Amino acid sequence: MEAPLSLYVYAPFDLVESTHAIRPAAVYVGPHHAVGFAGVITYRVEAPERRRQWLSKLLGLAKYIGVGRATSMGFGWVELQSHNG
């Protein structure tokens, strides 16, 4: 089942960062290092119910495939929590 085109168009507007508590983090792997961040970012979903369901499915994938670079090395770890209300 393919996501509707409107999901790709509106997703940047449907996910709104509401709070964050992050800090820069550098990880050294041999002679190389990667810089990213560690912490928590909270997003608010402001979308009609149908798009909210699609976004929920897509965000659920992040738990399994990670986000960003070097996910096979353990980077890009994601934990999702739903706060309804």
Mean pLDDT for the stretch of residues 53-73: 82
**Residue 61, domain extent:** 5-73
Three-class DSSP category at 5: helix
**Rounded Cα–Cα distance for residues 39 and 10 (Å):** 26
pTM of the model: 0.65
Report the Cα 44 to chain-centroid distance in Å: 12
pLDDT of residue 6: 60
pLDDT of residue 21: 92
Measured from the Cβ of residue 80, the count of other Cβ atoms closer than 10 Å reads 10
What is the identity of the amino acid at 80? Answer: L
Three-class DSSP category at 3: coil
Number of domains in the chain: 1
**Within a domain: 83:** no
**Within a domain: 80:** no
**Rounded Cα–Cα distance for residues 30 and 50 (Å):** 46
